[in-house]
Amino acid sequence: MTTAPDLAAAAEELGRFLGLGEPANAAATARALADPKFARALAGTSKLPDLVQRLLHDPRNEAFLTVHADQSDGVSQTLVLAGRAAGALASWTKDGLKRASPDVIARRLDACGSCAFRAPAPDTMAFRAVRKVMGPDVEICSICSCVIRAKAAIPGETCPTQDPEDSGLSLWGEPWKPDL
Ligand code: SF4
């Protein structure tokens, strides 16, 4: 689960990418991480400041933040799309918010499709917001809590599980990165 400091780092990265001169707001950052279409819309309008501002302040962005008052560490604000948000956004923005190639996406989705860690997204307020954007059958990786369809499309993303038959690879068949 991504905590507020990670969201702040992601917001800073997004603000830099968009040339805002300041971090993007938290709700828009959360939505950009959960919703690749929204992120690409932002990227596509980055030279049109008025449109960027409209997207950044779209009232629907708020649904992508949720409050977990019962968290014992006192961090109450969490990102809807849990995972290594700041790192993922940093690498994605460096790639110009491009999608991974269709072959890569298909290979990753194929691996996730037969993985024991694939799970339906829980029925929480946060994922209800994600369902509104991505449809009813949202599935997550239960190791990193990322939405599988979004995660697989981001070039720099990685599978968090080592292949038991090849310690150099993840279950996606990509180089294993143990520090993630
Ligand atoms: S990202 Fe990796 S661990 Fe997660 S569901 Fe996909 S294959 Fe399994």
Write the residue with the smallest CA distance to atom 3 of ligand 1.
161
Mean pLDDT (whole number) for 9-32: 85
Together in a domain, 19 and 88: yes
Between residues 146 and 19, the one the model is more confident about? 19
Spatial distance between the Cα atoms of 76 and 6, rounded to a whole number of angstroms: 13
The verdict on residue 33 lying in a domain is yes
The verdict on residue 179 lying in a domain is no
pLDDT band at 126 (very low <50, low <70, confident <90, very high): low
Report pLDDT for 56.
Answer: 93
Spatial distance between the Cα atoms of 117 and 121, rounded to a whole number of angstroms: 12
Spatial distance between the Cα atoms of 165 and 169, rounded to a whole number of angstroms: 9
Mean pLDDT (whole number) for 80-107: 69
CA of 150 to the centre of ligand 1 (A): 12
Write the residue with the smallest CA distance to atom 7 of ligand 1.
112
Q: How confident is the model over 128-144, as pLDDT tens digits?
A: 766 766 778 888 888 87
Report pLDDT for 173.
Answer: 96
Between residues 90 and 80, the one the model is more confident about? 90
Between residues 114 and 34, the one the model is more confident about? 114
Q: Which domain holds residue 119?
A: 102-170
CA 123 to chain centre: 18
Spatial distance between the Cα atoms of 155 and 39, rounded to a whole number of angstroms: 14
The verdict on residue 129 lying in a domain is yes
Together in a domain, 8 and 90: yes
Together in a domain, 16 and 53: yes
Query: Residue 66 pairs with which residues in a beta bridge?
Result: 78
Write the residue with the smallest CA distance to atom 4 of ligand 1.
141
The verdict on residue 176 lying in a domain is no
Q: Which one of 52, 68, 94 terminates a domain?
A: 94
Together in a domain, 26 and 85: yes
Q: Which atom of ligand 1 is nearest to the CA of 161?
A: 3
Cβ of 119 below 6 Å from ligand 1: no
Write the residue with the smallest CA distance to atom 1 of ligand 1.
159
Mean model confidence pLDDT for the chain = 76
Cβ of 51 below 6 Å from ligand 1: no
Cβ of 143 below 6 Å from ligand 1: yes
Together in a domain, 61 and 89: yes
DSSP at 1 = -
Between residues 134 and 122, the one the model is more confident about? 122
